[in-house]
């Protein structure tokens, strides 16, 4: 990894990079993990009074990868309290 900080990485973002945790064609888990990571990061940063903008990376990745309908469904579930993931 290059010696750049997270802000520069976010600024230079083009699309989701290769993630060796998810090397195969089925990228569902990649989308899901980044969706979770963004919302967990957001929750943790807000609770501790930190800078939420560092979480933006995860958001960029899941927005690149996930089908929009999934994101809409999950956002609605979170609003309703029926989201199955742990945030």
Binding site for another protein (CB under 8 A): 28-29, 32, 36, 70, 74, 84-86
Task: Name the token pair of 60.
Answer: 């960029």
Distance of CA 81 to the CA centre of its chain: 19
Q: Measured from the CB atom, is 13 or 70 closer to another protein?
A: 70
| Residue with Cβ nearer another protein (57 or 62) | 62
Rounded to whole angstroms, how far apart are CA atoms 8 and 11?
A: 5
Name the token pair of 7: 């802000």
Closest contact distance (angstroms) between CB of 52 and another protein is: 23
Q: At closest approach, how far in Å is the CB of 76 from another protein?
A: 14
């Amino acid at each position: 990894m290059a010696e750049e900080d997270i802000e520069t990485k976010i600024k230079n973002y083009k699309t989701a990079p290769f993630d060796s945790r998810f090397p195969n064609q089925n990228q569902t888990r990649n989308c899901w993990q980044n969706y979770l990571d963004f919302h967990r990061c957001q929750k943790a940063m807000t609770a501790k009074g930190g800078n939420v903008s560092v979480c933006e990376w995860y958001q960029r990745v899941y927005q690149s990868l996930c089908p929009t309908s999934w994101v809409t469904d999950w956002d609605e579930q979170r609003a309703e309290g029926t989201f199955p993931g742990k945030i």
